[in-house]
Structure 1
């Protein structure tokens, strides 16, 4: 089981890059087909949580990018505050 594989970091504390690497590791383990059924189920659940975390980070980054204010020629002239609660 995953618990026996060592202490896994809290997903919420992972950067996008760390979460993506962890997700890639989960996918690799699942695709190998060597994990027992119970471990595969735990891996799948962790992978889904990692995917959701990565998507949330990507959505927040996209919202920040969209917050860039452009002038009438489309050139960035500054930013407006980004409300993270809405992401």
Structure 2
């Protein structure tokens, strides 16, 4: 079963991306395989970027843009009341 972009965890995506980079940097990959690896690497890079942006948004929501921390509110999943 193929994983969707939303199902893969950040750490797994980074690990796979690092492996692709290692393989491409080795120079021992046939051109067709290198192109496929590059495409997969770009997809994984986009997944990682999206997950980092999402995490940043959550932190800004929790901490606030001005750096002040909001009290924990379990009624809305711990998010800041606005």
User: TM exceeds 0.5?
Assistant: yes
TM-score when scaled to structure 2?
0.76
2:54 to 43, 60, 78: 60
Superposed CA RMSD in Å reads 2.5
Match in the other structure for 2:36: 42
Unaligned runs of 5+ in 2: 73-78
2:3 to 3, 10, 13: 10
Greater fraction strand: 1
Asked whether the 8 Å contact 1:11–1:19 carries over to 2, the reply is no
Asked whether the 8 Å contact 2:70–2:80 carries over to 1, the reply is no
Deviation at 1:28, TM superposition (A): 0.3
Asked whether the 8 Å contact 2:17–2:44 carries over to 1, the reply is yes
Match in the other structure for 1:31: 25
Q: 1:29 to 1:73 in 2, by over 3 A?
A: closer
Deviation at 1:76, TM superposition (A): 3.5
Unaligned runs of 5+ in 1: 1-6, 82-87
Match in the other structure for 1:85: none
TM-score when scaled to structure 1?
0.72
Number of equivalenced pairs: 73
